C-alpha cells in the first residue's frame, strides 16, 4: 500500500503521480516537469491511456513508477519546482549527491546538475575523482573556479589524495595566471568598441572625476574613475577567483556605486554599458581559462 508524500507533493489538483521505489506517491504537475526536462516533455507528449483504462492509476491520475527512492525523488522534484513552491534542498551526504546527480543525468535535467555543481563544486570534484569519472571531475573542477583558491575543509576531501588536491590547486592557479594578460594588454577593449568610446570614456557633460593612469587611457579623453576602480578591483579578485561570475558581480556593485553618486549622465547609462562591458570581460576570462587543462 502506497503512502502520500508531504507538501508540496500532495496537492489535490496535481495531474500526475510519481511513485518511488519505496511506495511513496508524489502528486505533481506535469507542467513543472516539462519545463525542467526535455525527457519529461517528450514522455508527456506520447499518447496516454484514457482514464480508467489502465491499472496504473490512483484517484483518476496516471501513476508513473520510478526506480528512485522517496528521499531522492523528493530532492529531485524540489529542484524541478519553482522556488516559490519548494526551496532547493541541501545535500548533506555523499550518497545524497551521487543519487541526485544520477537522477539528473537519467532524466536530462541539466539545471539540477548545474545547481549542484554551483553549490557543491568541491564536494562533486572529490566524489567524481574518487570514482575515476574523468568528464565529471573536469566539469566540477571548472566550477571550483568560482571559489577562492584555498578551499575550506569539507568532509569529502578525505576521498581524494594529496596529489588530487594539488592538481586542483595547480589548475586553479594556472587559470588565474591565464587571465592576467587581459589587464596587461587592453587591446581587446579597443578592438571590441573601435572608435566608439565605451562608457568609461564619457561625454564632456559627465561630471565624474577622471583617472590619470596612462594604461587605462584607451581613447583621447581620460577614463572615469569608477571604471578604473572596477578594473583594478575585479582583476585583483580574479587572482583568487578566475571566473566570469566575479566579473559580473563586481559590475553590479559598480552600477550601484555610480547611481549613488551625483553624475546624472553616468547614472542614466551605467547599467546598460557596464552589463555590456562585464559580459565582454567575462567571456574573455572564460575563454582564457578554457584553454587550461587539469592533470587528472
pLDDT band at 183 (very low <50, low <70, confident <90, very high): very high
Q: How far from the centroid of its chain's Cα atoms is residue 258's Cα?
A: 27
Q: Where on the phi/psi map is residue 23: left (φ > 0), alpha (ψ -120 to 50), or beta?
A: left
Q: What is the mean pLDDT of residues 115-140?
A: 83
Neighbours of 73 (CB within 10 A): 25
Upstream peptide bond of 8 is cis (omega within 30 degrees of 0): yes
Instruction: Give the per-residue pLDDT at 57.
Output: 84
pLDDT at 101: 78
Pairing of strands 24-28, 16-19: antiparallel
Q: Does the pLDDT at position 72 exceed 60? A: yes
Task: State the average pLDDT for the chain.
Answer: 86
- Kindly tell me if the per-residue pLDDT of 191 is higher than 60: yes
Per-residue confidence band for 127, with pLDDT thresholds at 50, 70 and 90:
confident
pLDDT tens digits along 226-235: 999 999 999 9
Does pTM surpass 0.85?
no
Report pLDDT for 152.
80
Residue 224 predicted with pLDDT over 70: yes
pLDDT of residue 228: 92
The predicted structure's pLDDT at residue 188: 93
pLDDT band at 45 (very low <50, low <70, confident <90, very high): confident
Between strands 57-58 and 24-28, the pairing is: unpaired
Distance CA 162, CA 116 (A): 24
Average pLDDT over residues 142-168: 89
53-60 contacts, C-beta under 8 A, 24 or more apart = 58/2, 58/17, 58/25, 59/17
pLDDT of 239 reads 95
Amino acid at each position: 500500500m502506497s503512502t502520500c508524500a508531504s507538501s508540496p507533493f500532495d496537492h489535490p489538483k496535481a495531474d500526475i503521480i510519481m511513485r518511488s521505489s519505496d511506495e511513496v506517491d508524489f502528486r505533481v504537475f506535469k507542467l513543472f516537469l516539462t519545463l525542467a526536462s526535455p525527457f519529461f516533455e517528450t514522455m508527456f507528449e506520447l499518447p496516454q491511456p484514457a482514464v480508467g483504462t489502465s491499472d496504473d492509476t490512483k484517484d483518476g491520475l496516471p501513476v508513473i513508477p520510478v526506480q528512485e527512492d522517496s528521499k531522492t525523488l523528493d530532492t529531485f522534484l524540489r529542484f524541478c519546482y519553482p522556488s516559490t513552491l519548494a526551496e532547493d534542498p541541501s545535500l548533506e551526504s555523499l550518497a545524497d549527491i551521487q543519487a541526485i546527480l544520477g537522477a539528473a543525468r537519467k532524466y536530462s535535467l541539466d539545471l539540477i546538475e548545474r545547481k549542484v555543481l554551483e553549490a557543491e563544486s568541491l564536494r562533486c570534484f572529490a566524489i567524481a575523482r574518487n570514482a575515476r569519472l574523468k568528464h565529471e571531475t573536469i566539469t566540477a573542477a571548472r566550477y571550483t573556479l568560482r571559489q577562492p583558491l584555498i578551499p575550506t575543509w569539507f568532509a569529502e576531501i578525505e576521498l581524494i589524495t594529496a596529489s588530487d588536491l594539488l592538481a586542483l590547486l595547480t589548475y586553479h592557479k594556472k587559470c588565474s595566471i591565464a587571465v592576467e594578460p587581459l589587464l596587461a594588454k587592453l587591446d581587446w577593449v579597443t578592438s571590441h568598441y573601435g572608435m566608439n568610446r565605451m562608457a568609461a570614456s564619457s561625454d564632456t557633460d559627465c561630471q565624474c572625476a577622471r583617472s590619470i593612469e596612462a594604461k587605462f587611457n584607451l581613447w583621447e579623453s581620460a577614463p572615469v574613475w569608477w571604471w578604473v576602480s572596477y578594473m583594478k578591483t575585479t582583476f585583483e579578485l580574479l587572482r583568487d577567483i578566475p571566473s566570469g561570475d566575479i566579473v559580473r558581480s563586481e559590475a553590479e556593485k559598480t552600477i550601484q556605486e555610480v547611481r549613488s553618486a551625483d553624475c546624472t549622465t553616468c547614472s542614466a547609462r551605467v547599467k546598460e554599458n557596464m552589463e555590456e562591458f562585464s559580459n565582454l570581460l567575462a567571456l574573455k576570462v572564460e575563454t582564457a581559462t578554457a584553454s587550461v587543462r587539469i592533470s587528472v
